[in-house]
Amino acid sequence: MKNGLFWRMFSSILAVILVTVALFSSILLTLQRARAQENYETEVRMQARQVAEYMRQLNELSLIRSNATIQYLVNEKIADIYNEYNAEIWIVNFSSGKMQVVDRFWNTTEGPATEAVQEQLDRIGAGEEIRATGLFEQLGDHIVTIGVPWTYSDGRVVGAVLLHIPVDQLTVSFTTVLPQLALPVAVSLLLGAVLAFLVARNQTLPIHEIERAVRAFSRGELSRRVELNCGGELEQLGHSINRMASELSSMEESRRSFVANVSHELRSPMTSMKGYVQAMLDGTISDADRPKYLQVVLDETNRLTDLVRDLLDLSRLESGKFPMTIEPFDANEMMRRILIRFEQRIEEKGIDVDVQLAPDPCCALGDVNRITQVVSNFVDNAVKFMPGEGGVLTLITRREGNSVRFCVRDNGPGVDEADQPHVFDRFYKADKAHTVGMGTGLGLSICKTILQQHGCDIAMRSRPGDTEFSFALRAAEPVQRSLPAGENRQI
């Protein structure tokens, strides 16, 4: 796809490379031109120096006319300079006291002795080399004059060699140095394009792998995993997606198990109720036995009601639509009220009660109704599975630093070690687990969810003759509540 991530990334990287290469090429072109300009001026200056070197071998300017060899060398050199650089050579003699100029045709004239010219000649006479633009008015403002000293063999400066060259002839254009950079720039662009392609591909391949995995997840293929070895954040993202897939797979398995369990829990009592009702309508069950079987139907109806209520509570708790009212409450008073609620069942089974409450006042921070539900579930399970005679139910509250711990302990048969990791799972039942019996199998799961929303968890330890469920809430300062006139607080 032309609008795909690969092409967008490739175009972006390539554009950055192009801009970078263009910028650096411009800088290099400018530097190369400056260097070429400097080298060219040095080269032109060397031509004047070579003429001065030929002249150094003379003791007088007039000797050049009688020395055919020197005259030939100087003539050839001056002609070469003129042809190659379009530059004029003047030879200036200082010995006569006047500025005598000899041009390339060996014509001797007196040069213009303006103040500016004289200043530059004085610098040459001092042994310096000069460079000036528009020094001689008759030559024009576009002529650059380069002057070097003419000395005799004893080192005395007796004149000057002036080289006059047009400014445009001395200037190096960009087109002159551009071919030198054309090949490196082309190679850089080619390598940049290859690099952009490789980087874009290496960055998009992991993303395509992630995209294919997510598509598989959307089709329900939760066993698919992201396979990445690119390192960095993308590989970490792949690991996170794999963890998410594992959790989704676990949740899907849990959902299927939940649906199957709910279906089973609903189907069993409904099938039983339907059978009994049908038998009563058919006359299979006698009138004398009808009350007994109607009681069975009522028990199954109550069981269904409890199941639906627990399912609704669990759903609302997990969806956050079951808001908690977190406020201080009296932990000891709550335990006493729960004990009073189970008093009849405890007496019927002949269970002894050991109450170990922290010194009053002992206040905790939480939703008192939901915490009551949790502790009541613990007590209900303990009473249900303890032996009658000799059974001991222990209720404990105690301060632990900034927390209040709630414990429900019994000396019943306990939970098998193999069953202990699963007692908080939905619908989990075992012969000796505290969630068995005629319950829905959701009690401890609801308790765990309630306590998780309070920021704590359930601690359980169990062995034959000693089982304890406990949790801790943050301690709170006692709250003074004023009672209406004439009303007494009863426990």
pLDDT tens across 25-64, in order? 778 777 777 887 788 888 888 888 888 887 776 655 555 5
Percentage of the chain lying above the pLDDT 70 cut: 73
pLDDT value of residue 471 = 92
Q: Report, as an integer, the average pLDDT of 67-71.
A: 67
Looking at 113-127, 261-275, 341-355, which range is the least confident one?
Answer: 261-275
At residue 487, does pLDDT exceed 60? no
Q: Report, as an integer, the average pLDDT of 319-341.
A: 82
pLDDT value of residue 65 = 55
Residue 296 — very low, low, confident or very high, per pLDDT cuts 50/70/90?
confident
- List the chain domain ranges: 5-175, 222-322, 327-476
Q: What is the pLDDT of residues 95-117, one digit of tens each?
A: 655 555 666 566 666 665 678 88
Q: DSSP label at 488?
A: -
Q: Mapped to the 3 state alphabet, what secondary structure does 118-134 carry?
A: HHHHHHHHCCCCEEEEC
Which of the following CATH numbers is that of domain 5-175: 3.50.50.60, 3.30.450.20, 3.60.10.10, 3.30.70.141?
3.30.450.20
Task: Check residues 421 and 3 and name the one with the higher pLDDT.
Answer: 421
b/e per residue, 19-43, with b = 16+ CB within 10 A? eebeeebeeebeebbeebbeebbee
Question: What crossing angle do the helices spanning 331-341 and 368-385 adopt, rounded to 10°?
Answer: 40
Strands 352-356 and 88-93: unpaired
What is the rounded CA–CA span in Å between residue 201 and residue 207? 10
pLDDT value of residue 407 = 92
- Across-strand partners of 466? 463
Q: What is the pLDDT of residues 393-435, one digit of tens each?
A: 899 998 888 899 999 988 888 777 777 676 776 666 554 433 3
Domain spanning 327-476, CATH class: alpha beta
Question: For residue 228, what is the enclosing H or E element?
Answer: none
Of residues 138, 135, 133, 124, the one with CA closest to residue 169: 133
Looking at 14-23, 179-188, 247-256, which range is the least confident one?
Answer: 247-256
Q: Which residue in this structure is represented by tokens 């998410």?
A: 244
Q: Copy the structure tokens of residue 115.
A: 């103040």
At residue 358, does pLDDT exceed 90? no
Q: DSSP label at 172?
A: P
At residue 197, does pLDDT exceed 80? no
At residue 186, does pLDDT exceed 90? no
Annotate 66-99 with DSSP letters as a single string.
Answer: H-HHHHHHHHHHHHHHHHHH--EEEEEE-TTSS-
Of residues 125, 148, 167, the one with CA closest to residue 45: 148
pLDDT value of residue 408 = 92
Q: Report, as an integer, the average pLDDT of 127-152.
A: 85
Which of the following CATH numbers is that of domain 222-322: 3.40.1500.10, 1.10.287.130, 1.10.3720.10, 3.40.50.450?
1.10.287.130
Q: Report, as an integer, the average pLDDT of 146-163.
A: 84
